[in-house]
Amino acid sequence: MSANYCRFLGVTESDATGAHVEMIIENTRMHIVAKTGKDEISDLQLVRGSYVVANRIPIFDNNEVVGAIGTVIFSDLEKWKKMNVHIKNLLTELNFYQQEWNKTNGVNYSLQDLVGRSVKILELKDRVLKLASGDISVLIRGESGTGKELIAHSIHQLSERSRKQFVKVNCGSIPEHLLESELFGYVEGAFTGAKKGGKMGKFKFADGGTIFLDEIGDMPDYMQVKLLRVLQEKEIEPVGALQSEKVDVRIITATNMPIEKMIELSEFREDLFYRINAAQLVLPPLRERREDLSILAYHFLKKITTRMGKRINLIDEDAMALINHYHWPGNIRELENAIEVAVHLSEGDTIDIHSLPSYLTTSHDNTENKPLKELMDDTEKSIIERELKKHHYDKLKVAEVLGIGKSSLYAKIKKYYISC
């Protein structure tokens, strides 16, 4: 490390020598490049409040990665400080306009929200980047809570359609008799109770953009036929209409169901499966990417404490060991809920084993057959009981602390039969 860069980092050469790169350089990815063997050129990196343009290049010896070399692009610290102010200003403006745009086009997540450094996650990100630019249909598969919707949002945001609408439809949550009109709309007078002037369907609203059909395995057979026509002919037919309408929509689907088995049982159309499965992305369950657990735990800790305004910045060794040992049947969604519970229950600035949901401390056998909803209900009840006791059963205060409305708190007290 050059003396100039040492001064920029505020360390001495003796401090840096022999230390792991993460201990010396903030937000570094040098160790990742040394592991993956993939170079990273002109990456914007935040170091000590300043942005530097970093290049990271793997070093090979007989086709084996033996290390990595990194450079940052600046010749004069004072000049760089002035440039950094300009970059920060541009990024602030960009972030503001991005947030405003996301409010209107339906996108809530980006690929940056897919947190992790495991090989499976890095490979998944790489596949998303490769598939995003085209118009190919993508089927996203994975267990509940693994982040399938996040991937769909990321594909749209990275595609040429990002300036158009992203529309999500949960095929399992819409009553079967309403699904056709929700997807394709209807014309005036199509049926009793139809709105005057008709209604635009989700596909028409997404014209030029992307439609995300979540839980595609729950789509009834007659709707599978109509969806196949949309994929083949690029047109929809509103309920009650006399003619079809052309639409230009990219279709992304997702499921946690065994589609191949459903095809064997004639519960899902094979021809539709081949249409939506032009490209497939598989999200690994959390138990198969355990090296990401601590990264995700701290990611959620920062996210939740920022939202709640609590000063908690550490998870102690025993608590982290428990997090690493648990099998996480609810995947990332369950982990985030568990960290939120711990933040609520923590008394100091550190999450310890007593802050975590009680079900994490029970044996594997006691939890593996218990539904996730039941586990989370138990945890929610314990939080409310603890906060009520802590605040001397002042319900207004407890509602404020928990960030929920007074009526919601009363409903939960009634639901869980809490004595107060």
Single-letter amino acid, residue 160: E
Q: Amino acid letter at 19? A: A
Give pLDDT, residue 243. 87
Q: Is the pLDDT of residue 369 over 60?
A: no
Q: Is the pLDDT of residue 363 over 50?
A: no
pLDDT category at 364 given cuts 50, 70, 90 is very low
What the block records as the tokens of 59 is 């070093």
The pLDDT of residue 327 is 87
Percentage of the chain lying above the pLDDT 70 cut: 88
User: Comparing C-alpha atoms, which of 253, 259, 235, 230 is closest to residue 245?
Assistant: 235
Mean pLDDT of 141-149: 92
What are the tens digits of pLDDT across the range 378-413?
777 878 888 888 888 888 888 888 878 787 888 888
CB distance 312 to 355 below 8 Å = no
Per cent of the chain over pLDDT 90 is 41
* Domain boundary assignment for the chain: 3-79, 112-282, 287-415
pLDDT tens-digit series, residues 190-222: 777 778 888 889 999 999 999 999 999 999 999
CA distance 165 to 211: 8
pLDDT at 74 over 60: yes
Q: Residues 168-172: what's their mean pLDDT? A: 90
Least confident of 52-61, 186-195, 313-322: 186-195
**370: pLDDT strictly greater than 90:** no
Q: What's 287-415's CATH class?
A: mainly alpha
Alpha helices in 169-238 (DSSP H): 176-184, 202-205, 221-233
**Closest C-alpha among 196, 168, 192 to residue 182:** 168
| The pLDDT of residue 101 is above 80 | no
Structure tokens at 408: 């919601």
Superfamily of domain 112-282: P-loop containing nucleotide triphosphate hydrolases (3.40.50.300)
**pLDDT for residue 252:** 97
